[in-house]
Amino acid sequence: MEPVTSTTITVDVNGTSYEREVETRRLLIHFLRDDLDLTGSHVGCDTGNCGACSVILDGQLVKSCMMLAVQADGSKLETVEGLAADGELTQLQQSFSDHHALQCGYCTPGMLMSATALLRQTPKPSPDEIKKGIQGNICRCTGYWNIVDAVTAASGQEVESRD
């Protein structure tokens, strides 16, 4: 059996620089949660299917359970903890609350990061663009319409009535 090796990585997470020694086989999600104590991103399926672990890496949405921490060396990461500045919810976070886009909350960090990445690329997305933007994130509670409504409202657009 080969010995486990480690290496030192440096990452910027939510504006704070971290330098840590990590095992080369350590997943990014475990590095964030266990080494940096940033537990907002959730471990859901550990297979890349649920999206609960989604973060933004150098401007791109990634599933942190599908990456090794060493692959993030030298990168800029954004996690759900970095969204609210000085404890103030972003418009998107407030919209999730206002539109009942969360229930158990397990998928919420991944949904928020996916929606954040979407809104940066497409500031006024259509419902179909929102659905595509959150694709790969599984919610077992809300039925998705409230999430689509929350992202629509956060983009400054009128939410369609479902009556």
For the chain of 163 residues, list the mean pLDDT of each consecutive stretch of 10: 88 98 97 98 91 97 98 98 93 96 93 98 98 94 89 96 73
Domains by residue range for the chain, with CATH: 6-82 (3.10.20.30), 91-154 (1.10.150.120)
Q: CA of 100: how far to CAs of 6, 10, 105, 108, 158, in Å? A: 43, 38, 11, 11, 16
What angle do the packed helices 145-154 and 108-121 form, to 10 degrees?
Answer: 40
For 133, the token pair is 């933007």
Query: Residue 163: what pLDDT?
Result: 65
Query: Residue 120: what pLDDT?
Result: 98
The pTM score is 0.94
Closest CA to 42 of 29, 31, 60: 29
